[in-house]
Structure 1
Amino acid sequence: MIRALALGLILGLLSACTQEVDMVGLREQIGDDPVIMLSTSTCGYCKRLRADLADWNVEFRDIDVESSRLGQYAYEMLEGRGVPILLVGDRTVHGYSPERARALLTAADLIPTPSKQ
């Protein structure tokens, strides 16, 4: 029982420290493009994600978080700790995760599912 109470307390404290992202406010600032990538020009994983998106024929808006005030704002709003960050609608993928990115893009009907190809 003490463990359960301690776990509940820890989870409560963590949730109090975690800021919920205002996706509506963020989208009002950065635009409503279905797919937006926050990146840098020197990031190798960003380059790989750009190539993946091109291979999947996905149009996207690329915002540099180092040279763009808009990119810096979005990065801070999303509590970024690295790039790339991919926004698909109101969902995000932090870091290079092609499987997760493809799954979100497929769920949003932005790339065909394997059975439709």
Structure 2
Amino acid sequence: MGNSPSTSMGLSNAATVNKIQETISDNCVVIFSKTTCGYCKMAKKLFQDMNVNYTAIELDMYENGSQFQDILHQMTGGRTVPRVFINGAFIGGATDTQKLHQEGKLLPLVHQCQMRTHFF
């Protein structure tokens, strides 16, 4: 008789999901971030130091930033920022990203993506 959680998604929620998915698929590196977050700054600096372009979505600059976080939580299992995506895949937060870099695995992921985007 009542609404189940799966059917109570409003249009604005669907639009936000589309915006997130579109951003992730259209960009090689996407960081969902907040301007005041130290871990977010660390993740962005990591890509800057490697001269890798990234798209940062600063959630605290959006009126519906908490809605973005709710959807990212459903997509990734975590609500904290940063949420880092490379080549359409979620790789984790700042410490996960840094660990991949220390293991020498971050740049190859970015290069895979950059190779893909140069063919279009």
Q: What TM bracket, shorter-length normalisation?
A: 0.5 to 0.7
Q: 2:34 aligns with which of 18, 32, 40?
A: 40
SS in 1 for 2:32: strand
Identity %: 27
Instruction: Give the TM-score, by structure 2 length.
Output: 0.58
- Verify: 1:66 aligned to 2:60, yes or no: yes
Contact 2:31 2:54 in 1 (8 A): yes
Moved over 3 A (4+): 23-26, 69-74
Distance 1:55 1:110 in 2: 19
Q: Is the 8 A contact 2:87 2:109 kept in 1?
A: no
Deviations 1:46-104 (A, max 9, x none): 11111111111110011011222575454322214211111112211332121236624
* Structure 2: segments with no counterpart, 5+ residues: 1-16, 114-120
Match of 1:18 in 2: none
Quick check: 1:30–1:70 contact (8 Å CA) kept in 2?
no
What's the TM-score once normalised by structure 1's chain length?
0.59
The secondary structure found in structure 1 opposite 2:40 is helix
Contact 2:43 2:94 in 1 (8 A): yes
85, 88, 108: which one aligns with 1:87: 85
Q: CA RMSD in A?
A: 3.0
Equivalent positions of 1:21-60 (< 5 A) are 26-28=20-22, 32-60=26-54
> Following the alignment from structure 1 to structure 2, what is the Cα–Cα distance between the partners of residues 106 and 46?
21
CA contact (8 A) 1:40 1:46 kept: yes
Which structure would you say has the larger Rg? Answer: 1
